[in-house]
Copies of this chain bind each other. A is one copy, B any other.
Amino acid sequence: MVDIVIVGSVALDTVKTPFGEVKEVLGGAATYSSYAASFFSKPGIVAVVGEDFPSEHLDLLKGKEIDLNGVKKEGKTFRWQGRYEYDMNEAKTLKTELNSFENFEPELPEEYKKTKYVFLANINPELQLQVLEQIEQPEIVMLDTMNLWIQTKKEQLLEVIKKVNVLLMNDSEARQLFETPSLVKAASSALKLGPKHVIIKKGEHGALLFTNNSHFNAPGYPLEVIKDPTGCGDSFAGALIGYLAKSGLDEIRKAIIYGSVVASFNAEDFSLNRLKQISNEDVYSRYKEFEKMREF
């Protein structure tokens, strides 16, 4: 039995930052988020990889007890190529090859259909909807998205947003989707669509949580070394839902801090290289640092 079902990409990434570059390394929203979630709960992935996908990557995920029964294998693996400049808050996408994701029809293993926690990671909103419809009685459904879907599938995206309780977006996407420079106004529009919790990610500047009667401001962690921010948003989301699945929605503020903790580790190296090195104790110890750095 899995605690969380995550749908999203499993990918091979080619990334260049001012601090180095890597070719065809393990990446993808479902990869980063399930790995981050696995520090707290047991996630299962719904995705497709190609026949060309290196088996050591699947072994890495299995080693963290991530369930892969929902991962199909066919065609060629999804590939993403991107670049970051000195201001590493925004990736510039150079190339996207959907490959086997192009005609992917998600089919959930029977044991996934009874899950209570669902993370619809960044992927075509039509696929997000197809996954959600197969889950019998979800309790917490969290959704992430990106500018591509706001531009090309806005109607479908808004449909899915109406069905989730936790909406996650980065600041520029929130401004774009709700057509306002004010994050407060964007969050207020989002809350009117249905979600009870709206979380706005601000990269190195942390994250904001809005509900109908409160807001919470989570700091970023000041990093000395930032090599590659790829997957930070996904790591944030994964740790967040992982902690929620363990502790419940009342602990969402703590879950957001755990999200920031795991995302901050992720930025310290390319691909999942840093996350592979850290233990639950490392995560907890940086969480305690977050507590100290906001006392006043």
List residues of A whose CB falls within 8 A of some B CB: 18, 86-88, 181-185, 202, 205-206, 208, 210, 214-220, 222-226, 253-254, 256-257, 292-296
- What residues of B have a CB within 8 angstroms of the CB of A296 in the complex? 216, 218, 253-254, 256-257
**Complex CA–CA separation, A215 to B294 (angstroms):** 9
Which listed residue (B205, B257, B294) contacts A202, Cβ 8 A? B205
- What residues of B have a CB within 8 angstroms of the CB of A220 in the complex? 217
Contact B226 A222 (CB under 8 A): no
Which listed residue (B205, B215, B224) contacts A205, Cβ 8 A? B205
What is the copy number of this chain in the assembly?
2
**When A202-B205, A292-B214, A295-B253 are in contact, do A223 and B182 touch as well, CB less than 8 Å?**
yes
19 A-B interface contacts by CB (under 8 A): A88-B181, A182-B225, A182-B226, A183-B222, A184-B223, A185-B224, A202-B205, A208-B222, A210-B222, A215-B222, A216-B295, A217-B219, A217-B220, A217-B293, A218-B296, A253-B296, A254-B296, A257-B296, A294-B294
User: Which of A86, A219, A292 has the largest number of chain B CB atoms within 10 A?
Assistant: A219
A49 to chain B, nearest CB (A): 34
Contact A184 B224 (CB under 8 A): yes
**Complex CA–CA separation, A50 to B290 (angstroms):** 49
Dominant secondary structure at the A interface: loop
Q: A87-B181, A215-B293, A257-B296 are in contact. List 16 more A-B contacts (CB 8 A).
A: A18-B181, A181-B226, A182-B224, A182-B226, A184-B222, A184-B223, A205-B206, A206-B217, A206-B219, A210-B222, A214-B293, A215-B222, A217-B220, A217-B293, A254-B296, A256-B296
- What residues of B have a CB within 8 angstroms of the CB of A215 in the complex? 222, 293
- What residues of B have a CB within 8 angstroms of the CB of A183 in the complex? 222
Leading 3 A-B pairs by shortest Cβ distance: A217-B219, A253-B296, A205-B205
A198 to chain B, nearest CB (A): 12
User: Which of A215, A293, A296 has the largest number of chain B CB atoms within 10 A?
Assistant: A296
A265 to chain B, nearest CB (A): 15
**Complex CA–CA separation, A254 to B220 (angstroms):** 19
User: Which of A18, A215, A222 has the largest number of chain B CB atoms within 10 A?
Assistant: A222
**Complex CA–CA separation, A208 to B222 (angstroms):** 9
A282 to chain B, nearest CB (A): 18
User: Which of A18, A86, A202, A294 has the largest number of chain B CB atoms within 10 A?
Assistant: A294
**Complex CA–CA separation, A253 to B293 (angstroms):** 10
Contact B208 A217 (CB under 8 A): no
**Complex CA–CA separation, A215 to B26 (angstroms):** 33
A104 to chain B, nearest CB (A): 36
- What residues of B have a CB within 8 angstroms of the CB of A87 in the complex? 181
